[in-house]
Structure 1
Amino acid sequence: METESMEYRYLGISGLKVSVLGFGNMTSSWAEGSEDWNFNCTDKCIRNGVNFFDTAEIYGLGVAETILGKNIKQGGYDRDDLIITTKLNPSGFGIQGLSRKRMRQAIDNSLERMQLDYVDVLYIHKFDPEVPLEESIRVINEIIDNDKAFYWGTSDFTPQQISECFAICEKHGWIPPIVEQCEYHMFDRGTFERDYAPVFDQYGLGTTVWSPLCQGFLSGRYNDGNIPEGRLINSPFLDYFKECYDKYIGSRKEAAIRTLTGLKTVADELGCSQAQLAIAWVIKNPDVSTAIMGASSPRHLDDNLGAVDAMKKLTPEILARIEDLLGNRPTPSMNWRNFTPNTPRR
């Protein structure tokens, strides 16, 4: 169900139209611990025009898929209005990785957990170095031929691996991917804005980006440089969280505080929250098809949904101020066609 307050974009060069904000339920297997809370998040998203819902078999080893399926069934929503995606992971379910044997069974297991006949997009969730990529892509096409998925994509592939996917599909006449799911936020820009740019241009690839708030560090709750008490205390991702904290804040605390408090000032002037500003900045990028929101409490979801309105306030002048605060615009790759000796690099 589309709403006037939500913006929708085509997912790559496909005819699939997705809300610019999506909902990811990775935390559903451990956050809050309430089925009512999980359903209310899904329902609130749909009522606010969100039509894109992302999950994966690895999230809670199937628990997140089960929760999403229950929520959809409980709400009685029109399946045609929703874009449901899941991901098959090379680890976590035995030793067979992304082999034809396991993928054929894995999609059936995922659909059974979600109580669905099909998913709209099926991702290869990380590159599997132990299985020929051609084998995985062949079975993805079989899954599409059997109407268990309509499109497919990659998740956290390198640009080179994505190009290999297209080469394999062209060789065999197979359906190519339409989307890459990757990390993108104010603190980590190089991979998305520089490394993936040629792939976006060459193949018209869509993107469903994750962690637009950088583990919550851009939400405003870390502006003093410290971790709030009790943060992720029950999370199975605590080690990863600490690693990210050290990378983006702990190792450069003074600079990070200046950036974060500066962003707070800009957000206050625009009349939005700092979290809304950070997400709005991400979806302002035309190479972003949808930004996947997570939520560890209902109030966070309410706040994040306001990012679409905040995006409309990002004028060129405001974006320039944000660039000055971030100071991390990626350096473009050298264009050797236009390079001559003794010409200054730009």
Structure 2
Amino acid sequence: MKKIKIGQTDIEVAPFNLGGNVFGWTLDEQKSFELLDAFIEAGFNFIDTADMYSYWINGGVGGESETIIGKWMKARGNRDKVIIATKVGGPTGVHETDSSRRHILEGVEKSLERLQTNYIDLYYLHYDDEKTPIEETLRTFHELVKAGKVKHIAVSNISPERLRESLEFSEKNNLPKYQALQPLYNLVERKGYETVYAPIVAEYNLTVFPYFALAAGFLTGKYRSETDFSKSPRGQRMAQYLNEQGLNILNALDQIAEKHNTVPATVSLAWLSAQPHIGGPIASATSKEQLEQILSSTSLKLDKDDLVLLNKISKQKHANIV
């Protein structure tokens, strides 16, 4: 399998990023271990989590996903064979969005302890609080890189203005620079990324790992009416996509999936992977069947007609632009 190099780093990953948000939420420890084992056995190596996963469902304080991944790596003795991305700065049950030095230094120690490792391969600023000076955040990350606790840094929820300012500051001051961006980007939510973030990505050679790659499950095709919302804990989110544009996209995915003898989720992820600067979509699975479907997107090659159809339909109208 061809590996993707993240930004200007020496990190190489298989072209799919397994979302760890379900670990400790809709999957218990045993089932999480089974999914992680299957993921590695299929030849993939990149796992995404965060210190805030998955407090908002279980009523915990965050870190449940990191804890499970840490136990799994220790049990399998495979830390050197996997690339771990985790995040700091997001809101949990005990703190608000915070990108300050104090919070990052506290957060990294807790994440390292839960992950049972002494380094994090890719450390994201999960949310920019928009009040901490970017210099403070970046110099704190520099401390962590110098100490060997973090290999490289990345960023997720940040304004395009603060993203550009951060990249410029790092370059001017010879500090670690964000190497990857994790934006909201999928077939039903395109304009926000493509209009304001994609130009920055191209200019600074960032690698993009989109979250909500399947629009919280809508692009799997299992939510086609309000009666389908009860199919999962995230079902109510589907109301925002269940409109004429969303249904037209699902119909196109059905058509292309039938042509390639696959499923809509696989087609949707393959479309995302075909876009410029995408290192791999982020998606989670709660069964081995789902895992096989999403991983098969890396071997599905959509032809020109497929891409033209999806681009045309998904550009007709943009919903929920950020």
| TM-score normalised by structure 2 residue count | 0.90
Report the CA distance shift for 1:205/1:329 in structure 2 as closer, same or farther (over 3 A). Answer: farther
- Cα distance per residue 1:285-340 (max 9 Å; x no partner): 13111211211333211211111122x2x11122112223334488xxxxxxxxxx
Aligned alpha-carbon RMSD (Å): 2.0
Distance 1:63 1:181 in 2: 21
Equivalent residue number for residue 342 of structure 1: none
Distance 1:90 1:255 in 2: 31
The answer to whether the aligner puts 1:51 opposite 2:42 as a matched pair is no
* SS of equivalent to 1:138: helix
Measure how far apart 1:133 and its partner are: 1.9
> How many corresponding residue pairs?
310
Report the CA distance shift for 1:217/1:170 in structure 2 as closer, same or farther (over 3 A). Answer: same
Distance 2:308 2:273 in 1: 16
Distance 1:42 1:109 in 2: 22
Measure how far apart 1:263 and its partner are: 1.6
Equivalent residue number for residue 246 of structure 2: 256
* SS of equivalent to 1:209: coil
Report the CA distance shift for 1:170/1:256 in structure 2 as closer, same or farther (over 3 A). Answer: closer
* SS of equivalent to 1:178: strand
Distance 2:45 2:240 in 1: 33
Which residues of 2 match residues 101-250 of structure 1 at below 5 A? Answer: 101-222=102-223, 224-228=224-228, 230-233=230-233, 238=234, 242=236, 244-249=237-242
The answer to whether the aligner puts 1:26 opposite 2:21 as a matched pair is yes
The answer to whether the aligner puts 1:318 opposite 2:319 as a matched pair is no
Equivalent residue number for residue 340 of structure 1: none
Distance 1:286 1:185 in 2: 13
The answer to whether the aligner puts 1:73 opposite 2:74 as a matched pair is yes
Letter in 1 for 2:299: D
Letter in 2 for 1:24: G
Deviates more, 1:58-67 or 1:92-101: 92-101
Distance 1:225 1:256 in 2: 11
Report the CA distance shift for 1:227/1:150 in structure 2 as closer, same or farther (over 3 A). Answer: farther
Report the CA distance shift for 1:18/1:328 in structure 2 as closer, same or farther (over 3 A). Answer: farther
Equivalent residue number for residue 83 of structure 1: 83
Asked whether the 8 Å contact 1:219–1:274 carries over to 2, the reply is yes
Distance 1:196 1:262 in 2: 26
Alignment partner of 1:266 out of 244, 256, 267: 256
Distance 1:203 1:324 in 2: 28
Letter in 2 for 1:297: S
* SS of equivalent to 1:28: coil
Letter in 2 for 1:199: I
- Cα distance per residue 1:256-303 (max 9 Å; x no partner): 323312320211011111111011111111311121121133321121
- Cα distance per residue 1:81-111 (max 9 Å; x no partner): 2110110025324369322222212111110
Report the CA distance shift for 1:317/1:149 in structure 2 as closer, same or farther (over 3 A). Answer: same
Measure how far apart 1:182 and its partner are: 1.0
Distance 2:97 2:192 in 1: 30
Gaps of 5+ in 2: 55-61
Report the CA distance shift for 1:298/1:316 in structure 2 as closer, same or farther (over 3 A). Answer: same
Asked whether the 8 Å contact 1:189–1:329 carries over to 2, the reply is no
Distance 2:107 2:197 in 1: 29
Asked whether the 8 Å contact 1:32–1:297 carries over to 2, the reply is no
Distance 1:96 1:182 in 2: 17
* SS of equivalent to 2:309: helix
Measure how far apart 1:80 and its partner are: 2.8
Asked whether the 8 Å contact 1:225–1:256 carries over to 2, the reply is no
Distance 2:182 2:166 in 1: 15
Asked whether the 8 Å contact 2:89–2:104 carries over to 1, the reply is no
